[in-house]
Structure 1
């Protein structure tokens, strides 16, 4: 199967799971409080259904429009906008007849299930896979800035050691990207000196402009020869497989970034290269640099084990017993939610330009890997579940959070908003959601067409 097909299958599998469980979060407490549920649908059944079957008083079905799902609860003003039912006298089994605290539990059920599901997934992943990461403080000679223009904007240079963001010490190299996006201030160590720098308010916008450059940092890797092609101008220079560069013209050239800088400075010239042979001995090689700064050799990749052996970095693996995985999963769920809230805060600040990165279905589908990978699938599903939980609890009419907002108002003041007010609020919320949906998917279309 092609990568796009694999991504699509993962997207719909994940989305279907999350929608069904979210709606179960409403369905179960509604049933416990003896509230009638008329419909339980995966996806929307505008005009017709792909499948439906009535069991008891509830019609279970699958709609054709994959924009979500819903449960239709009797006596509730929701997306069905069933005004005729609301004109009749309240029945004991209707939502509007139940005490406010019961209605509140019913409305909070969906987001609660989404968050709990994410935590359960994180617990399972911690127990099954553990956590492997590169400690930030293990990078012997700092980071490699792959995109100098972006590095200059945020104030990071090759060789810098990134210590903290907003005063919080960075634990993992992989976390540096999301922390820079969410953060406001960075602490780095450069040549033994600690430096504080403000992260530009529009730094997110800079990354969004060219998403291929988002991961503009990497750990520094040594430069080692794999082979020299017969067509290379340095075929007879004397390079051997497994030669590791140590210096060029007497200047340190251990890492790829150092070698690339030296080649740039010596275009069209001969250079003297000090290398370490596979047997540990050292040798000198005189080579020619082409006019475009190339040696014409194929380099060999380094494994993490080889990097560790050379003391360049460390790879830590944390394993968890079942009991240890529970707090680890909870902490992961809370930290993921906290991180997402920081991102959303920046989206609502026009100065950051973060709104340019808002994506729709294509962006969500793009989060899944090109090949089937269960750890990646579950990690992405957990993250999307966190997003659904938070987005649904926002106090916007037509979302769970809008209903919760009006219920809290009723519980505090003792006055229930009128049905007419709730109808208008539902319509306003619906149009807001449609506008957001069009904007998000419009962003996807724009990126596809012009980037």
Structure 2
């Protein structure tokens, strides 16, 4: 069921974004009197279509993109026969270079506007709800899991600065811009001293797996019982919500991570618990030979802070967040080209993106992911690769600057090369996604 929800979310999101992107091309083309023969969301085969005026509008079966076919333009259709005839006034090739440039930028511009509007709207509607650094540090600091321990963090550390800068939101510790910064580091308070913990330049590669953040850091929280599980030791002995575990078989505990650590590899036949309930201290002794857990979900007693923004603030903050995604993409590409980041670990395709949407339908997360994807698509489409909008923009910019138009034969060859490159890249990304799946890695002994 989770897989279906993920798939439905990414298909809906891509359909919205592709429709808007191609709509940007269509509206710009029609504004300059160009004939648009076909507008399609998805790639053939067609599911259904209708004709309105001179344009056929189609919904097609493969939801990995879309296209607008403009008369007189060398595009994915590679309709070279029509290009042998003299240009007609309504054709793309008959229009001034600046108009053709605006048409090719139309989809990118719409994606940028869409991403910015989404982030402004989310900021205005939901504001920011976060756990402050001070609240985390006041309650015991962080729990350092395996990935955190690898870089030198320890459970109980209180992180006070990021790259030498003050911060407030605990979530800032795992922001992508932290891991993509040069010579990144955390400053932590440990045993009354300040210590700098360096973050490796390629550390972000470790956070691409869906469970990676659960293996990094989390705010430390007290060993207080939340929900008690059915048919568990906790239920048998009468532990109830709100109880606080103080001691396990002679070992004092104050935090949930200490409870987990004590129970890991526990090999005694019975367990002795000391529990605080209100002003009472209760003790429980129970047979434990076949158990590995006490059987409760801990209460996460974090004090959350909320900030609401007016429209003016939302416009500023939302726009910064939208373009921040583009700057992170540029930074990540730079690190991949320099070899600091692994291409296979850093790139994600449809499967990886679908996982990011999550297995439950959450509209706030859906729109946040859609806004992020809109900005990423705008950036990717602007890359100067033939067959992408950026390739057309590159050739049109050359034409405007030099006053010389590349020949149709050159543009056709460039389009073919670009399409082959993009096809190979898509195959690589999809198979790279597949080989990131755990059971596939186990099957081929990649773990």
On whether the aligned pair clears a TM of 0.5, the verdict is yes
Structure 2 equivalent of residue 212 of structure 1: 211
Question: Could you say if the C-alpha distance between residues 286 and 10 of structure 1 is closer, same or farther in structure 2, counting changes exceeding 3 Å?
Answer: closer
User: Could you tell me which of 151, 157, 162 is aligned with 1:160?
Assistant: 157
Q: What's 1:283 paired with?
A: 281
In structure 1, the residue matched to 2:440 is: 450
- Separation of aligned partners in 2, 1:385 and 1:34: 27
Could you say what the CA RMSD is over the residues aligned between the two structures, in angstroms? 3.1
Change (3 A) 1:376 1:162: same
Is 2:398 the counterpart of 1:403? no
Displacement after TM superposition at 1:169 (Å) = 4.1
| Closer/same/farther in 2, CA of residues 354 and 188 from structure 1, 3 Å limit | farther
SS at match of 1:366: helix
Q: How many Å separate the matches in 2 of 1:26 and 1:187?
A: 45
1:62 aligns with 2:53: no
Distance in 1 separating the partners of 2:253 and 2:339: 44
Is the 2:47–2:60 contact (alpha carbons within 8 Å) kept by the matching residues of 1?
A: yes
The DSSP-based 3-state class of the residue aligned with 1:421 is helix
CA deviation map 1:199-245 (0-9, x unaligned): 2233234445x642333211111112466988749977x96653313
Aligned to 1:390: 379
Distance 1:316 1:241 in 2: 25
Question: Aligned equivalents of 1:241 and 1:194: distance in 2?
Answer: 37
How is 1:30-429 mapped onto 2 (pairs within 5 angstroms)?
Answer: 30-45=29-44, 48-139=45-136, 140=138, 141-145=140-144, 147-148=145-146, 150-179=147-176, 180-183=178-181, 184-191=183-190, 192-208=192-208, 211-216=210-215, 217-225=217-225, 232=233, 242-246=242-246, 253-262=253-262, 268=268, 275-278=275-278, 281=279, 283=281, 285=283, 297-303=294-300, 307=301, 313-429=302-418
On the 8 A contact 1:7/1:366 being kept in 2, the answer is yes
SS at match of 2:77: coil
Unaligned runs of 5+ in 2: 442-447
SS of 1:20's partner is: helix
Unaligned runs of 5+ in 1: 308-312
Please list the CA deviations of residues 55-95 of structure 1 after superposition, one character each: whole Å capped at 9, or x if unmatched.
22222222333231111112221111121222222222222
1:154-209 Cα distance to aligned partner (Å, 9 max, x none): 2221122334444454443234333354344112213243333332233234445x
Does the residue aligned with 1:212 lie in a helix, a strand or coil? coil
Give 3-state SS (helix, strand or coil) of 1:30's partner: helix
Q: Distance in 1 between matches of 2:160 and 2:327?
A: 21
Which residue is 2:12 aligned to?
A: 13
User: Judging changes above 3 Å, is the alpha-carbon distance between structure 1 residues 193 and 265 closer, same or farther for their aligned structure 2 residues?
Assistant: farther
Q: Distance in 2 between matches of 1:240 and 1:325?
A: 43
Give the whole-Å Cα distance in 2 for the aligned partners of 1:352 and 1:317: 35
- Relative to the length of structure 2, the TM-score reads 0.85
- 2:41 aligns to what SS in structure 1? strand
SS at match of 2:143: strand
CA distance in 2 between counterparts of 1:230 and 1:377 reads 36
Distance 1:240 1:92 in 2: 79
CA-to-aligned-CA distance 1:3-28 (integer Å, 9 cap, x gap): 22222222222111111100111111
Normalising by structure 1, report the TM-score.
Answer: 0.85
Structure 2 CA distance for partners of 1:229 and 1:405, relative to 1, 3 Å: closer
Structure 1's 284 and 102: CA in aligned 2 closer, same or farther, altered over 3 A?
Answer: same
Instruction: Report the secondary structure of 1:215's partner residue.
Output: helix
